[in-house]
Chain A
């Protein structure tokens, strides 16, 4: 398989849902820091509630996160939990990104080598 084909295949295998920067950031924050309330997530990512809710709904529909009502000292809040499926999808996505980077790097290297040949 040529490196261009490898790159194309790796790009096709990327998780479309996690390809969006905000959704990737949401899952990264939940992965690194654990469950958070929607308010804390909005503050951490500097995203307003509207777009954040839309992204969370899509992640929830895919089974990547769970939204649960939790009791706090003030009032009930919605906490966002990363599911096991979400963790696996996230780690797979990162590995595929790594594969794309490796394939692109290899492709550039071989391209440079071909160009420098007399």
Chain B
């Protein structure tokens, strides 16, 4: 067998780069789906637990602390575990792309924590606010994630670009009046809360499917 030619080396390297970009998009789609599932499961648990303990699931004075601890702490732990698992296998991404985050990656936990904390610390601007405020917090988080990380990476290394946060943010913003409007006429917190969960799940699902399509096109 003859030694490989320079063209064959380069072709192999190009294939490897495409494969890595494919994996990155698949991971992004899987993360969106996983986070969506976590949101749904935790929400259901919270509803059931709230009913069992308080009879009314959204008890106002306890909401911010209990909600944050029982909903977002597990969610952040799960998301962190997913990210850590993936990052171990493709920690070469920053070295393989032109993207230089300049330490912005360290802001990710803040991007997902601060908006949520903010919406639960302001005085409720709408009825049943605590039952769906997380949705607005998450929407802000996705906008920040898109602006700080997704768009810069897409501009510097187009083959590693993802769109999931932009899609999630855009869909969430477009549907953001729905929970607020429902809450104005709702007697209980169920309807606006359910509407927020449905919108979030649809946004995650659409973003994940679009990302999978983009990955398939790359392959």
Contacts and interface: CB of A to CB of B under 8 A. Distances in A.
- Please indicate whether A and B come from the same complex rather than being unrelated chains: yes
Given A88-B95, A91-B96, A32 B20 contact: yes
B89 A21 contact: no
24 contacts: A21-B4, A24-B9, A25-B12, A29-B16, A31-B17, A31-B20, A32-B15, A32-B16, A32-B17, A33-B23, A34-B23, A34-B88, A34-B92, A35-B88, A35-B89, A82-B92, A84-B95, A87-B92, A87-B96, A90-B13, A91-B95, A94-B13, A97-B9, A104-B6
A98 interface: yes
Given A31-B20, A33-B23, A97-B9, 9 more contacts: A21-B4, A28-B12, A32-B16, A34-B88, A34-B89, A34-B90, A84-B94, A97-B6, A101-B6
Contacts of B10: 94, 97-98, 101
| Interface core residue of B7, B9, B17, B88 (most chain A CB under 10 Å) | B9
A52 interface: no
Interface in A79-118: 82, 84, 87-88, 90-91, 94, 97-98, 100-101, 104
A80 to B, nearest CB: 12
Interface string A8-47: 0000000000000100110011011111000000000000
A21 B89 CA distance: 23
Nearest to B96: A87
Interface string B95-106: 110000000000
Contacts of A34: 23, 88-90, 92
A101 B6 CA distance: 7
Interface string B22-57: 010000000000000000000000000000000000
Contacts of A33: 19, 23
| Interface core residue of A32, A84, A88 (most chain B CB under 10 Å) | A32
B96 A31 contact: yes
A28 B95 contact: no
Taking residues whose C-beta sits less than 8 angstroms from the other chain, chain A's interface range is: 20 to 34
B89 to A, nearest CB: 3
B11 to A, nearest CB: 10
Contacts of B20: 31-32
B3 interface: yes
The 6 closest A-B pairs by CB, nearest first: A34-B89, A32-B16, A87-B95, A94-B13, A84-B95, A32-B19
A101 B95 contact: no
A55 to B, nearest CB: 16
Given A28-B16, A31-B16, A94-B13, A84 B6 contact: no
A105 B3 CA distance: 19
Nearest to A85: B95
